Amino acid sequence: MKILAIETSCDETGLSILEVKESKNKLSFKVLATTLASQIKIHREYGGVYPMLAKREHIKHLPILLEKVLKKSKLGGSVAKSTWRPNRQVNTVSPVDLIVVTSGPGLEPALWTGIVFAKELSQKWNVPLIPVNHMEGHILSPFGANAGDFEIPLTENKDSSISFPILSLLVSGGHTELVLIKDWGKYKVIGQTVDDAAGEAYDKVARMLDLPYPGGPEISKLAEARRKFLLFENIAQADEPSIAIRQQANMSVFKKQKLPIVIKLPRPMIYSKDFNFSFSGLKTAVLYLIRDLKIANPNVMENQNTKNDIALEFENAVVETLVHKTKKAILKYKTKNLIIAGGVSANKHLKNEINKMLKKLDFETQVFFPKKELTGDNSIMIAMAGFLKYTKNKTKIYKNIKAEGNLKLK
Ligand code: KG4
Ligand code: ZN
């Protein structure tokens, strides 16, 4: 069967058409067409995502992208034209058998645009519509690809490369959570952030360093530059007064005023007994650190080395916390499979540190990361979660689908 997947939960409008097949051991997917309209440039001016602006952009892009995917998949662009334009003759021959749409979590004005669009298509084409949890999409994303064929292995498969329970660390702009996957479709959130998400902290700290939105890749670049330098100079970072501080003309100012000599940030909640995270205090610590550095030198933030130093220590703090809690959960639940997904899963340092941690365990745990193009929001992962939901209950009719900004995994 063919399915149309729609994603509008945040600042990416995504539409895809996939051919899907179910067999005993796996769900198979073939990407017929996929598109993604990013709004990053528009939101960048404001340093973050503006929900009403996101809504406007989704509304603008949805019909255009629908036409594109229908054309690319050779299912007929003209069908789309007559379908979505008001007061046109409606073509009721549907190019797909099923429509799936993100219904939450996310920004409600943005979510509604996808839902309203999907509902209209579902009525006009007379095909079922299934609401999808965006986070379930992220969970499945490591098995996907944005071109060609791919598959999701199912539980019953004895030769399957996966075994349940699987642990998943979801790290994005809106979420930081550890999820125990008892089976596909059966989730238990065992820990989550009590305040800011990891990606959100990256974005906020990037703003303090005058870096553009989204901050994750920007901070990462600076941290990487500093990391390479330390490695090259063979310096143990923990004992190293940062370049920024060493370059201050008068070290006595630091001593007299008890300013930090080494750039060091906290690892909030790292030793808490639960699996929760907190990143808001870390962000505030960066704010105070910049304030203190400016006491010694008001121009300190104009120095690239200062930014690199802060970026490195911030990234180390985030990644150390994420890896520590993930390890604790693996040990407690003895999981043999680990999924890391969401925008922050594109982070190189996180990948390296997760791999290092796994190597030191005395049992083997296999880790799955999404391909780079599927780390961020996209509609391929929504198609995956939507089709999985469909196979679990093929006759269920979803009435009154609505946007749920805080939709939880269960
Ligand atoms: O999953 P995603 O695209 O959207 C949400 O559902 O939130 O995640 C976006 C987040 C942003 O906060 C962005 O700064 C962060 O992912 N991000 C990264 C990297 N690439 C994106 N954070 C750290 N390192 C990266 N390389
Ligand atoms: Zn997301």
Question: Each residue of 318-333: pLDDT tens digit?
Answer: 999 999 999 999 999 9
Q: What are phi and psi of 333, to 5 degrees?
A: -95, 0
Atom of ligand 1 nearest to the CA of 199: 12
Q: What are phi and psi of 296, to 5 degrees?
A: -75, -35
Q: Where are the alpha helices (DSSP H) in 209-303?
A: 215-232, 243-246, 251-256, 280-296
Q: Report pLDDT digits (tens) over 20-34.
A: 999 988 999 999 999
Arithmetic mean of pLDDT, 37-54? 88
Using the mean position of ligand 2's atoms as its centre, give its distance from the Cα of residue 172 in Å.
6
Atom of ligand 1 nearest to the CA of 200: 12
CA-closest residue to ligand 1 atom 7 = 173
Is the pLDDT confidence value at 210 over 90?
Answer: yes
- Contact 212 CB / ligand 1 (< 6 Å): no
Q: Report pLDDT digits (tens) over 90-113.
A: 556 889 999 999 999 999 999 999
- 278 or 247, higher pLDDT: 278
- Contact 104 CB / ligand 1 (< 6 Å): no
Q: Which pLDDT belongs to residue 330? A: 98
Q: Which pLDDT belongs to residue 307? A: 92
Is the pLDDT confidence value at 77 over 70?
Answer: no
- 295 or 88, higher pLDDT: 295
Which ligand places an atom closest to the C-alpha of 346?
A: 1
Is the pLDDT confidence value at 382 over 80?
Answer: yes
Amino acid at 140: L
- Contact 174 CB / ligand 1 (< 6 Å): yes
Arithmetic mean of pLDDT, 211-226? 95
Using the mean position of ligand 2's atoms as its centre, give its distance from the Cα of residue 198 in Å.
12
Q: Where are the alpha helices (DSSP H) in 35-172?
A: 40-44, 51-72, 77-84, 108-125, 134-140
Q: What residues pack around ion ligand 2 (CB closer than 5 A)?
A: 172, 377
Q: Are 137 and 381 in contact, with CB atoms under 8 Å apart?
A: yes
pTM score of the predicted model: 0.92
- Contact 106 CB / ligand 1 (< 6 Å): no
Is the pLDDT confidence value at 270 over 90?
Answer: yes
Q: Which pLDDT belongs to residue 247? A: 56
Using the mean position of ligand 1's atoms as its centre, give its distance from the Cα of residue 206 in Å.
12
Domains, the chain, ordered by start: 2-146+372-392 (3.30.420.40), 191-368 (3.30.420.40)
Using the mean position of ligand 1's atoms as its centre, give its distance from the Cα of residue 322 in Å.
15
Amino acid at 191: G
Arithmetic mean of pLDDT, 5-25? 96
Q: Which pLDDT belongs to residue 361? A: 96
Using the mean position of ligand 2's atoms as its centre, give its distance from the Cα of residue 134 in Å.
6
Q: Report pLDDT digits (tens) over 104-150.
A: 999 999 999 999 999 999 999 999 999 999 999 999 999 999 999 99
Mean per-residue pLDDT over the chain, rounded? 90
User: Would strands 166-171 and 176-183 be described as parallel, antiparallel, or unpaired?
Assistant: antiparallel
